[in-house]
Amino acid sequence: MDKLIIEGQVKLKGEVTVSGAKNSVLPIMAATLLTEDACIIKGVPDLRDTNTMIRILRALGKGVEFDKGVLVISSLKKTNYIADYKLVSTMRASFCVLGPLLGKLGKAKVSLPGGCIIGVRPVDLHLKGIKALGADVDIESGYISAKAKKLKGAHIYLGGVYGSSVLATDNVMMAAVLASGKTVIEAAACEPEVVDLADFLNKMGAKIKGQGTPTIEIEGVRCLHGATHTIIPDRIEAGTMILAALITKGDILIRNVILRHLGALIDKLEEAGVSIIKGENSLHVRYKKPLNAVNITTLPYPGFPTDMQAQMMSLMSVTPGITIITEKIYPDRFMHVSELNRMGAHIQREGPHAIVEGVARLSGSCVMASDLRASASLALAGLAAFGKTSISRIYHLERGYEKIEEKLESLGARVRREKE
Ligand code: UD1
């Protein structure tokens, strides 16, 4: 296992280009199971998670080539309907092969993804959706088995205790595209990555309307064909880079962004006193003066993303004043709190809230990454800290940030990788 060593207190400067969105590419790769034709996906980030999904697709019978950000996915042999525990357990997003396998083959056996460090993460909404489409669902030996002679369109309310679900919306949408008749998903997730998936499915011949709103309508079609698609930029990587500029008092031009996908974050930063210069597909962020503390509540899109909560906590930990951070998607997603406190932050957790009292400086320490976004928050803290920070279990960062060391180094950061 590798660790990341960061010598902090360098103002990041320069230009960086954001990679394709991890949360778009994974379900879009799964969607290729809905056709025998070849699909070409461009702008694909070379991530640990992308490579896990490649292994899953190969195990399910697909031929996958991945070169210079382009995936070519074709059918090599008859599609296998069983997605194995070994692969599914390493990445929750692999559960989204359930919908397309069921839609295409009328049967699927997919390992339950299990919980993870950021919370329990149930799949009840996924199952509610496919049952409503007429699937018989059994849970046995840690696997979901779903069967249906022919799925039938239905009116489905997919809201849960914490609001909408991104991957449940993806799964149900992918199951419904080949169902007979019309499906309406109410309380659908509105995230840009759901829209990207729906756009890809429409290019394959699906008839989906309303993506990006809480009501998605799907008119079932008989079959889907191959398609070519370019993945949208990763809004979480863009957001993380914005915060890297601010926490190091730097000056960065960030290319390949869709500004409207960053609305809630930019709004919060403007409230904190940051001015962001917005270009057409780029933005320029320059630290000018100390920020104001701002309270943050995570919500489904277009609210403030839970995937930016940890990174924002790092920034607020060195911002004068008190910030209250409320986590409404994953109330236990606070593993980074104790690690940030090791670096000198003053953060107190109270249930789904974290109370952050800004400190004048963080000091480099040995810390441990517990999950993907927590590791990004520790990297940000390390960039701002005095002295050396050593982040162990850095493989978490590789799950979602393409070439992160190279990108940070190109902005002047002093980062290197070492064997644990
Ligand atoms: C996706 C993202 C992840 C992000 C999350 C929330 C991908 C690959 N991952 O994960 O990066 O943090 O959205 O924006 O796109 N829930 C239920 N029942 C279900 C499903 C979910 O109660 O059947 C709950 C979850 O526990 C959570 C909330 O709904 O509290 C939202 O989770 P969900 O949107 O499903 O997250 P994912 O799609 O797994």
Q: What are the pLDDT digits (tens) for 234-289?
A: 999 999 999 999 999 999 999 999 999 999 999 999 999 998 999 999 999 999 99
Q: Taking 60 as the threshold, does the pLDDT of residue 145 lie above it?
A: yes
What's the chain's average pLDDT? 96
- The closest residue, in CA terms, to atom 15 on ligand 1 is 23
Q: What pLDDT is attached to residue 248?
A: 98
Q: Is the CB of 109 under 6 A from ligand 1?
A: no
Secondary structure class of 196 (helix, strand, coil): helix
**Domain 2-19+233-419: CATH class, spelled out:** alpha beta
Tell me what pLDDT residue 116 has.
64
pLDDT above 80 for 120: no
Task: Give pLDDT tens digits for 103-116.
Answer: 999 999 999 886 56
Beta bridge partners of 355: 324, 348
pLDDT confidence of residue 81: 93
The 3-state DSSP class for residue 304 equals strand
331 Cα nearest atom in ligand 1: 30
Mean pLDDT of 55-80: 94
Q: Give yes or no for a contact between 52 and 29, defined as CB atoms under 8 angstroms apart.
A: no
Q: Measured from the CB, is residue 307 less than 6 Å from ligand 1?
A: yes
Domain at 22-230: CATH architecture: Alpha-beta prism (3.65)
Catalytic residue (one of 39, 96, 116, 190): 116
At 66, is the pLDDT very low, low, confident or very high (cuts 50, 70, 90)?
Answer: very high
| Whole-number pLDDT of residue 318 | 98
| CB contact at 8 A, 17 and 413 | no
- Ligand 1 atom at minimal distance to the Cα of residue 167: 38
pLDDT tens-place string over residues 213-243: 999 999 999 999 999 999 999 999 999 999 9
Q: Please tell me whether the peptide bond between 302 and the residue prior to it is cis, using omega within 30 degrees of 0.
A: yes
CA of 406 to the centre of ligand 1 (A): 30
Task: Write down the pLDDT at residue 89.
Answer: 86
User: What's the confidence (pLDDT) of residue 115?
Assistant: 54
Radius of gyration of the chain (CA): 21
Please indicate whether residue 35, judged by its CB atom, sits closer than 6 Å to ligand 1.
no
pLDDT of amino acid 121: 78
166 lines ligand 1 (CB under 6 A): yes
Atom of ligand 1 nearest to the CA of 191: 14
In angstroms, what CA-CA distances link 277 with 78, 134, 228, 242, 399?
A: 51, 50, 33, 12, 30
Q: Which of 173-177, 191-195, 394-398 has the lowest mean pLDDT?
A: 394-398
Do domains 2-19+233-419 and 22-230 share one topology? The answer is yes
Summarize the confidence of residues 364-385 as an average pLDDT: 96
Region of poorest pLDDT, from 8-12, 380-384, 396-400: 396-400
Q: What is the pLDDT of residue 20?
A: 98
State which of 84-88, 188-192, 370-374 shows the largest mean pLDDT. 188-192
3-state class (DSSP) for residue 174: helix
Q: Which of 88, 131, 329, 335 most suits a substitution to test ligand 1, by most atoms within 8 Å of the C-beta? A: 329
Distance, CA 76 to ligand 1 centroid (Å)? Answer: 32
Residue 79: the pLDDT is: 83
Pocket test for ligand 1, best of 28, 98, 121 (most atoms within 8 A of CB): 121
Judge whether residue 168 has pLDDT over 60: yes
pLDDT confidence tier of residue 77, bands split at 50, 70 and 90 = confident
Q: Which atom of ligand 1 is nearest to the CA of 26?
A: 8
What is the band of 345 on the pLDDT scale with cuts at 50, 70, 90?
Answer: very high
| Maximum pairwise Cα distance, the chain | 63
Beta bridge partners of 182: 219
Domain regions of the chain by residue span: 2-19+233-419, 22-230
Whether ligand 1 lies within 6 angstroms of the CB of 162 is answered as yes
Give the mean pLDDT of 362-373: 94
116 is catalytic: yes
